[in-house]
Chain A
Amino acid sequence: MPRPRSAAVPRSAVATVAATRRSVIRGMALSGLAVGGANLLAACGGDDGPATGSGATVKFGINEAEGVGAAHDRLAAMAAAYTEETGTKVDLNAVDHNTFQESINTYLQGTPDDVFTWFAGFRMAQFAEAGLITDLSDIWPIEGLDDSFKQASTAADGKQYFVPVQYYPWAVFYRKSVFEKNGWTAPESNDDFMALMEDMQGKGITPFAFGDKDGWPAMGTFDILNMRLNGFDFHMSLMAGDEQWDGDEVKQVFETWRTLLPYHQEDPLGRTWQEAATAMGKGECGMYLLGTFVVDALGENGEDLDFFTFPELDPAIGSDALDAPIDGFCVAAAGQNQEAGKEMAKWLGSAAAADAANNGADAPFIAANSGASTATYSDLQKKSAEVVSAAANIAQFMDRDTNADFANTVMIPSIQEFLKNPDDIDGVTASIQEQAESIFA
């Protein structure tokens, strides 16, 4: 079966998707792999059986190891449902999340599976530009996936390379029981918000749980402050490297953050997000700005949890943007069965796929497809779905919206430096700008 030969990888694709907490050396070595070589992709593979439909085989790489629970079970249930529906055999390759992410460059240039799990945003777009993933514009539009999802699946060349399946929003989480006991309500305005935090402090409760030992959680705080103070468009163009990091806008974000720091737990660099979540769960802290995965650390089903979106800080900007990272699927350009891969990718975006996933696991995800059943959702998830569909703009989180090297090697240490020494905003922003120039040049 003839396979399209991708063009050589442009220099601009020298980017790794190394996770946080990874050795820089290995990251650099892997990024070197991205230079050239895509045109040399393996061209050998057996062709037994039909390419698509009943009797064909499609290889499906997933970034959840067997045994981690619902996250793996949902993907496996999707694969099983696809086989049942179309007769196509699905060859599942389960690799744990972090290893999969760190090895993505060698994976895509080596012997990738036909369809694999990946993320929307810049991380997808950079592989599209490098010719490592297949153009999926002919399977779009997909019924039930609206324009905002299509937008999130589109790379710089205007074509779609991605099929979204689920998302999870970042918001301010709190214990319902703690709020009830103290007569607190979710703040509507900035004044409410400040008053709430003052009241919490007066009662000896730290308003915000906060932990940034791993480096990435505080990115969520930066994202939301930037979106509230400077707006979604500025945020996205800043992430794309088109704005000044040492300009007044970014400085204002850090200034605001500094005034909010007294309302956060002290010494965040020595605390993981799990420990911070526990502090909120035990009622030592009133609120926690995090993704919906906060429930995982509490060891409960989240019935006593509720959330609100971060209130507006500037009336001219409003509060209609938030971080809600989207997970989904791509088809690898070096995959051996392009047709079957595309066909499966299209099906994976359908409501039927989402339902199969949610019915096949203990805990459901929030389906991207609007036709998916919400019967299995928890209250938190129902509310998440409402909040996200009400939002005008959705960002993907800093480490997905920008160059992965920039996010991991520049922003993590810079934000940690700021948290250590919040008074040196000029120094931190100048250093970020300097490094951004060399990375985005």
Chain B
Amino acid sequence: MTYETPVATPPPTAAPAAGTTSRTGGVLSSPRGTVVTVLVAVLALAWLFPLVWALVNSFRDYDYTQANGYLSLGGWTLDNYEEAWARGNFGLHFKNSLLITVPAVLLTLWLSSMVAFVLARFSFRFNLTLLGVFLAANLLPPQALLIPVFRLFREIPLPLFMSDSGSMLNSFWSLILVNTAFQLGFCTFVLSNYMKTLPHELYESAELDGASVWRQYWQLTMPLVRPALAALATLQVTWVYNEFFWATVLLQQGSKYPVTSALNNLRGQFFTDTNLVAAGSILVALPVLVVFFALQKQFVSGLTLGSTKG
């Protein structure tokens, strides 16, 4: 038994002490660690720089930066935000984004949890194939489906009270549907993997107690996969909210655009006030940041969800 070991070992929760305190201090305490720290800091700065640059310039006056260059300091103002909000008509477009994102996310989670439940709990012949198909559809780039989806939606009539164009085109329904379809594969995959980790005995006892399949799904499985649902909801909200491509293709009415597409409103035909666009971009990015920071824990666990199979 040696004497030094317990003394030199820091408590497990404390950060490794700097310098040469011990062998157990980890790689970051050695000289090589210093290099790594510096390198990582530089990389982090390089990644953050464009964002910070945009943030800083969103608070500056365009005329000032145009006259003095972007390397100068000064011309501080809050006008860009005020103008971006008014010019971009962000109030309306945030509402549009909300009307698209919330139903799309709820629908995706509901449908995919049902598919995942069946795939995880019942074994039949095409179980794996079905999961494979869901996953494979995930790999298709949306651009490849642009023409078929556009034509399809044009041919689907909707009553006028649902869509003033009389077809799926130019309505929120089309966007909700298309986003749901594209996110379904990923959610199903993650949820079915998560559901497979639930102990099988639970279902056996439920079965014995006479719970129907629906009850096993709704009252037994759903409460248990809540963490997975929360993580997915966080991810899905950011993904659907950030979606830009389908909105510009399927919508033709400027006042229906979600906020990501409406960001273009801040650009003129020729002239673009870059500081104003920076302010607008920050405003558009804010909801995602809020969602991320508020639900950070779910977000991170969401990234590793389903990566291990029980």
Contact = CB atoms under 8 A, between A and B. Distances in A.
Interface of A: 25-26, 29-30, 32-33, 37, 40, 42, 44-46, 61, 63-69, 71, 93-99, 102-103, 106-107, 109-112, 273-275, 278, 282, 291, 293, 296-297, 299
A68 B143 contact: no
B154 A99 contact: no
A40 B153 CA distance: 12
B155 to A, nearest CB: 7
A40 B155 contact: yes
B267 A96 contact: yes
A67 B265 contact: yes
Contacts of A274: 66, 271-272
Contacts, number: 120
A288 B269 CA distance: 19
Given A97-B269, A291-B270, A46 B160 contact: yes
B169 A110 contact: yes
A255 B274 CA distance: 35
Given A45-B166, A65-B264, A274-B272, A99 B63 contact: no
With most chain B CB atoms within 10 A of its CB, the pick from A25, A26, A65, A107 is A65
Interface string B19-46: 0000000000000000000000000000
A322 to B, nearest CB: 18
5 contacts: A42-B154, A44-B167, A65-B264, A293-B271, A297-B66
A196 B101 CA distance: 60
Contacts of A112: 252
Given A25-B143, A67-B87, A99 B165 contact: no
B166 A44 contact: yes
A297 B155 CA distance: 45
Contacts of A63: 269
B265 A44 contact: no
B86 interface: yes
Contact of A29 (B143, B262, B265, B267): B143
Interface string B128-153: 00000000000000011011001100
B252 A68 contact: no
B255 A93 contact: yes
B170 interface: yes
Interface string B247-269: 01100111101000110110111
B75 interface: no
Given A29-B147, A42-B166, A111-B165, A299 B269 contact: no
B89 to A, nearest CB: 6
Contacts of B89: 65-67
A203 to B, nearest CB: 22
A267 to B, nearest CB: 16
B157 interface: yes
A64 B270 CA distance: 12
Q: What class of interface size applies to chain B in its complex with A?
A: 35 or more
Contacts of A25: 143
Interface in B68-106: 86-89
Nearest to A299: B63
A217 B295 CA distance: 46
A71 B269 contact: yes
A103 B169 CA distance: 13
B126 to A, nearest CB: 32
B169 to A, nearest CB: 5
A380 B212 CA distance: 80
Contacts of B87: 65, 67-68
B227 to A, nearest CB: 37
B252 A106 contact: yes
Given A30-B146, A66-B265, A110-B169, A103 B252 contact: yes
B218 to A, nearest CB: 39
A110 B271 contact: no
Contact of A96 (B62, B67, B249, B254): B254
Given A109-B154, A110-B169, A110-B252, 15 more contacts: A29-B146, A29-B147, A40-B154, A42-B166, A63-B269, A67-B86, A93-B252, A98-B264, A102-B248, A111-B167, A111-B169, A273-B270, A278-B67, A291-B270, A296-B268
Contacts of A103: 248-249, 252
Contacts of A109: 150, 154
B155 A99 contact: no
Contact of A94 (B146, B249, B254, B261): B254
Among all A-B residue pairs, the 9 with the closest Cβ atoms: A67-B87, A65-B265, A95-B254, A44-B166, A296-B271, A111-B165, A97-B269, A293-B270, A96-B264
A94 B154 contact: no
Contacts of A99: 248, 257, 261, 264
Contact of A68 (B154, B167, B265): B265
A106 B254 contact: no
A214 B261 CA distance: 21
A335 B63 CA distance: 43
Contacts of B157: 44
Contacts of B144: 29
A297 B273 CA distance: 9
A102 B269 CA distance: 13
Nearest to B249: A106
A110 B143 contact: no
Contacts of B272: 274
Nearest to A292: B270
